[in-house]
């Protein structure tokens, strides 16, 4: 017995669009028969192919899907799709911003800051030596005091739990 694609949709309780999607993927190809000028489906074969290529959810699987992440109901397909599309658009924006150098990876920023802080530390530690070069009559006590002040200042700046502003 031959049926139309609409008949298959009715038999399976789905939309004609769902049947069209299965047809486009080639799942129903073996069941398609030419009857005159029209394409129809071999009913038994179409139903068998449909069932073989369908995912059936047992009550246990449905319950576990429902409980994924929270006790709330899963969002509708359209909501999930809209969220996914919004996330994909945001990822595309981020990719463009990275290529335009508007955004840079955090590791690059950290590496640059470490370099800058190291250079600054080295320069600050060199203050007592430069002072001695420019003021030759500084005695060892004054040099030791300058060195102590510089190191104390650097230690004050080297707080471990600095929070980002």
- CA-to-CA distance for 10 and 103, rounded, in angstroms? 52
Question: Is residue 149 over pLDDT 90?
Answer: yes
What is the arithmetic mean of pLDDT over 126-139? Answer: 90
- Whether residue 18 contacts residue 10, with contact meaning beta carbons closer than 8 Å, is answered with no
- CA-to-CA distance for 102 and 105, rounded, in angstroms? 10
Question: Is residue 69 over pLDDT 60?
Answer: no
Question: Is residue 60 over pLDDT 80?
Answer: no
pLDDT of residue 134: 92
């Amino acid at each position: 017995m031959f049926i139309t694609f609409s008949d298959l949709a009715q038999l399976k309780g789905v939309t004609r669009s769902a049947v069209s999607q299965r047809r486009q993927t080639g799942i129903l190809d073996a069941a398609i028969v030419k009857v005159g000028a029209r394409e129809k489906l071999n009913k038994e074969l179409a139903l068998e192919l449909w069932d073989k290529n369908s995912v059936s959810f047992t009550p246990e699987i449905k319950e576990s899907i429902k409980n994924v992440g929270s006790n709330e109901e899963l969002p509708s397909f359209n909501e999930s799709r809209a969220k996914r599309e919004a996330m994909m658009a945001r990822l595309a924006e981020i990719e463009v911003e990275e290529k335009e150098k508007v955004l840079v990876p955090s590791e690059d920023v950290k590496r640059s800051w470490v370099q800058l802080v190291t250079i600054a530390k080295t320069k600050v530690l060199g203050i007592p030596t430069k002072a001695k070069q420019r003021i030759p009559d500084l005695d060892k006590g004054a040099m030791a005091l300058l060195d102590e002040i510089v190191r104390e200042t650097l230690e004050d700046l080297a707080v471990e739990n600095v929070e980002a502003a």
